Amino acid sequence: MSPLTNTLVFLATLAGMEVFAWWAHKYVMHGWGWGWHRSHHEPRSGWFEKNDLYAVVFAGVAIVLIALGSAGYHPLEWIGAGMTAYGFLYFVAHDGLVHHRWPLRYVPRSGYLKRLYQAHRLHHAVEGKERCVSFGFLYAPPLPVLKRQLRELHDGPLRKAEASADAPTERSDAA
């Protein structure tokens, strides 16, 4: 396959992973897969949480695709590479930036990263798996839209959600 085709497959997979991640987060992780994902919505003790098993599963799929593509089943290696790149971006933005699971404790004050950070804080403002907003990991709807959705889902203001979107957390793993 041509380098252009490989690049396009890689980029399409990278973009498509956000759509898949949104779907999986909303319907699997907050649905029948809540048993693993619940740990992500509760205070974490230790380095890992049960939710990390999702990353292991998706990494395993990417490894298999890369191996199959390398064995001649093109362009599976580029699909696996796109999944891997998405996983890396997820690790940096979600685990690092939002949940402070790596040493750098940066809280963005403006722009895209602030919007992403605040949207995910609004996702975690709800107790349990029901009536949450913002299921994407690298795309976040505008904050006024998310706040309106929360008010509609909860029949009025959700002060915890609206406050937690703007304020950094005291605990490094609370988001």
Q: Render pLDDT for 41-81 as a digit per residue (tens, 0 to 9).
A: 999 888 899 999 999 999 999 999 999 999 999 999 999 99
Q: Classify each residue of 18-53 as buried b or exposed e, where b means 16 or more C-beta atoms within 10 Å of its C-beta.
A: beebbebbbeebbeebbebbbbbbeebeeeebebbe
Q: Is the peptide bond before 3 cis (omega within 30 degrees of 0)?
A: no
Residue 23 lies in a domain: yes
Residue 103 lies in a domain: yes
Cα–Cα distance measured from residue 134 to residue 118, given in angstroms and rounded to the nearest whole number: 10
Residue pair 9/75 in contact by the 8 Å Cβ criterion: yes
Q: Render pLDDT for 127-156 as a digit per residue (tens, 0 to 9).
A: 899 999 999 999 999 999 999 999 999 886
Residue range(s) defining the domain that contains residue 68: 3-39+49-153
User: What is the number of H-type helices and E-type strands within the chain?
Assistant: 7, 0
Cα–Cα distance measured from residue 154 to residue 27, given in angstroms and rounded to the nearest whole number: 19
Residue 130 lies in a domain: yes
The total domain count for the chain is 1
Residue 58 lies in a domain: yes
Residue 170 lies in a domain: no
Residue type, 121: R
Residue 83 lies in a domain: yes
Residue 165 lies in a domain: no
Q: Assess whether pLDDT exceeds 60 at residue 160.
A: no
